[in-house]
Structure 1
């Protein structure tokens, strides 16, 4: 029995290590001191603290009396995913049980778990109601355009007193390359806005969308995909610059080339669709991110009455959410929908 327990612990630690190496959103994971266990396994408690401001000090009265409010808010996990993997007994015995499932577990983390976890994290942040966003097409943009938009975003955060000590810039490798090439070609030109970030993290575009759909696994549809969204009649009373409107004809939606105020009553918007993210600025304390892995032991064919296979089960659950009083610390630049 002791060997079985040690094996399970070693296997779980391998999964965690691979996940951390493969994930690019792990820098946003909340510290363990920030959260407490809730009443059940799918809840955590997040501390919230508020203190009074300063008042006048006088010789006769002395200090004004304020208060400290320290309480915990219960949060329910919004991510719960898992998979059961089977391997034919002959394949496993040729490779060795431990080697087979360590390799399979590593591949699962690197190619499936980490990309989906990143995509879910960024979509929950960029798609959160109240987050400042802008839609910009950088397909033919110069580095100066990207730098100017980054400067505007950092200026807004600086004026809102958002700390730079844990302010992260997540950006696509393509745009990061544009900025790097600009710095090399123009060593005397300023790109010091990049110094306003404590860390710059490259995120592959396939993990970087404003909304995603987590696929159920039915009909062999696993993993995630950019959300398709739905068309809804717009509620705008004025044409919003940069927004895409559509008209509907027999169930087909056509993009409006030149929106006019007079036509708003018949215009539709594509709501909840996964727009590609150009870059995302996040101050870490604005995010609640907590992950938990559950990796079971490997089941042998002797334990599976109807299958001549080995089986591994894996489950991961957690939460990604923003604190509404810290939305000034988040900004998303989105690419136009195709």
Structure 2
């Protein structure tokens, strides 16, 4: 049993580190103190704040009374995915520990994180009320014009520049970077940070495969009717993004009652949603639906 504890200590911090290095959306995670456990395991309680605007001040009657509404809204987690891998102890021994030792990190980096990013982008892209623009961006000038339209729309909606993130495909970002003048790229100063997102994580809708009969490979793909995203601008306070439960599980052969093998299980439960009164904080530009 002592060996199992030491093994868990060795691997779990590495899993956390891999996620932070590889994820393109981790900076959008909400502060844990803003969410509390709901009545059910797959629920979170999020505080929603609303208040009235200014009224006339009277020298006789003083202030007009105002109402502040702070209510806790229960929302359900919409991401709940997992896998369990088995590596025979002899296979691991004969490969000098590589079979199991590399499994966890590679799984997180190459399978979990891309799907998590793709799921989040698709969730935000599918929300009603956000700005959605469709079109083809053929050159750097077109990209700049589209980005300027996005920043203008968000500025007019009074979305703060702070924590306003630009997610864009490397191809489109490269078209702008290759332009001769630096002045045309000043629009990039209107964002807190810029993240290049590979096209295979960047769709308006995805299909998550079950991993069961007929879909053994698992993972995800662009959904029928989905479109490739050119870029998204996301203001962090506009999204509800919490990784509620991330559970890597390591079972060693000495405690495995089914076989002489290591087992690596992984489950990720979380939520990707938007605040109803902050949809102006998300701007989507995508290609036409195929």
TM bucket by the smaller chain? Answer: over 0.9
8 Å contact kept, 2:87–2:100: no
Per the alignment, residue 223 of structure 1 pairs with: 219
Q: Deviations over 1:137-156 (max 9, x none)?
A: 22xx1211111111111111
1:191 equivalenced with 2:188 (yes/no): no
- Structure 1 stretches of 4+ with a deviation exceeding 3 A read 1-7, 94-97, 99-102
8 Å contact kept, 1:86–1:310: yes
Per the alignment, residue 79 of structure 1 pairs with: 79
What secondary structure does 1:282 align onto? strand
Q: 2:134, 2:16 → 1: CA distance?
A: 36
1:322 equivalenced with 2:274 (yes/no): yes
Per the alignment, residue 143 of structure 2 pairs with: 146
Match 2:165 to one of 158, 163, 168: 168
1:68 equivalenced with 2:68 (yes/no): yes
8 Å contact kept, 1:133–1:331: yes
What secondary structure does 2:240 align onto? strand
Q: 2:158, 2:289 → 1: CA distance?
A: 32
Give aligned pairs, total.
287
8 Å contact kept, 2:250–2:262: no
1:29 equivalenced with 2:10 (yes/no): no
Q: TM-score scaled by structure 1?
A: 0.80
Q: CA RMSD for the aligned pairs?
A: 1.8
Bigger radius of gyration, 1 or 2? 1
Per the alignment, residue 275 of structure 1 pairs with: 227
8 Å contact kept, 2:4–2:252: no
- Alignment gaps of 5+ in structure 1: 229-272
Per the alignment, residue 43 of structure 2 pairs with: 43
Q: 2:260, 2:2 → 1: CA distance?
A: 26
Per the alignment, residue 264 of structure 2 pairs with: 312
Q: 2:34, 2:281 → 1: CA distance?
A: 18
1:203 equivalenced with 2:191 (yes/no): no
Q: 1:56, 1:169 → 2: CA distance?
A: 40
Residue 302 of structure 1: how far off its partner (Å): 5.6
- Alignment gaps of 5+ in structure 2: none
